[in-house]
Amino acid sequence: MIKIGIECENLEDPKSRWGIGQLTLNLLKEYAENPEWQKQYRLYLYFKKRIPDDKFLKNPFFIKRVLGFPSFNIFYHILMPIRAMLDSLDWMFFPSYMLPPLYIGKSIVMLTEDAYYEYKSGTLPFRYRLAYGLFTNWAALRATKILAISETSKKNVARLYKIDSKKIFVAHPGVSVLKDQSLKTKALGFRPLAFSYLLYVGQMFPRRHVRETILAFKKLVTEHSNILKNIGMFELKLILVGKDRYPTSIISNLVKNINQELGGERIIHYEYLEKRSEIENLYAGAKALIYVSDREAFGLPPMEALAFGVPPIIMNNELGHELFGNYAFYAKGSGPENIAGAVLKVFFELEKTEKIKIEGPEFVKKHSWKNFANIFFENVKN
């Protein structure tokens, strides 16, 4: 039996399970549902302070280690690698981009170009940028294998970190899709909202242009109000789900000020929604999802929206075309006028919008968490 360790600190706070947390969570869920993998692989899970309350984590086939130290750096770079080596693992998976220098066994490290740009020119505090600079480059140099989550990201990671591309394997993250999307309202208990709305989901980093998205919405409802009325969207709204990650928080005040200008609550902002079904309910009823980002290694929200037949509006770049092809609307730039123009295309290019509604859920099925997990486990066999 192959013994695999997985760093799981990213699961401890359910409210912070974006990106890395979702990837780790779904890898473990797929393992928990596959008896054949349970016979071949034994998973050791390393937590910093606590094991979360997810029911599937209570299964005895997981070996769980709680190292009990509040400092992330001490947990990640000292206690975890020492404990992992004492457990005599065959492989250790580090999804958080960094390889601890103390760990000398076989390792898989997930890397994205975001980590590179963050330490080069990002807005995180200096200590975080220093850690990324030191330990992502150490991963590029010393990790046994590198996991990339798209072909575009693989090329970027290989170029930026000067890694031989043969060392990098690609596994697309998955998207949870109902087998019969026509049953989604009944099966998940969705309650359509009483108004039309556009949607944004994700942490609000500057590169994702949430500020410009808000200004684009203002432009739509002020400069194009007659068009919206003609297509029956008298009270179009914008719903934002995600935490403000700008260097100086700007989203709450911007939402408040524009709502005052528009004379009502036309923009709604939730920092976090407790239940996954609440986000799925918003996906199901949205006219479009806006996720215009300068760069992503993958970007799950547009694919999740597509799973519900909702048109995603994304940046016109290589990654977008790799993942979505004709199943997205592309903004030619990140300015409010570019985003507003892409939204209008959703409303007027009805043939394409209808194609996305009908075929999008089937298109998304090729990106499953089972496929992701299968590629991951295949790469620990050799």
Domains of the chain listed by start with CATH number? 2-174+368-378 (3.40.50.2000), 181-364 (3.40.50.2000)
The 3-state DSSP class for residue 168 equals: strand
- 124 touches 86 (CB < 8 A): no
Say what the pLDDT of residue 186 is: 42
- Give pLDDT tens digits along the chain (382 positions): 999 999 999 999 987 787 899 899 999 999 999 999 999 999 999 999 999 999 999 999 999 999 998 899 999 999 999 999 999 999 999 999 999 999 999 999 999 999 999 899 887 889 989 999 999 999 999 999 999 999 999 999 999 999 999 999 999 998 865 544 443 444 444 556 768 999 999 999 999 999 999 999 999 999 998 889 888 888 899 999 999 999 999 999 999 999 999 999 999 999 988 788 889 999 999 999 999 999 888 888 999 999 999 999 999 998 999 999 999 999 999 999 999 999 999 999 999 999 999 999 999 988 899 999 999 999 998 6
Exposed (0-12), middle (13-18) or buried (19+): which is 355, by Cβ within 10 Å?
A: middle
Beta partners for 5? 44, 92
- 109 touches 5 (CB < 8 A): no
Say what the pLDDT of residue 164 is: 95
Question: What does the buried/exposed string (b/e) look like for 167-199 if buried means 16 or more CB atoms within 10 Å of the residue's CB?
Answer: ebbebbbbbebeeebeebeeeeebeeeeebbbb
Say what the pLDDT of residue 188 is: 44
Q: How many whole angstroms separate alpha carbon 129 and alpha carbon 24?
A: 23
Tokens at residue 135, please? Answer: 């330990």
Q: How many whole angstroms separate alpha carbon 329 and alpha carbon 313?
A: 5
Q: How many whole angstroms separate alpha carbon 293 and alpha carbon 80?
A: 34
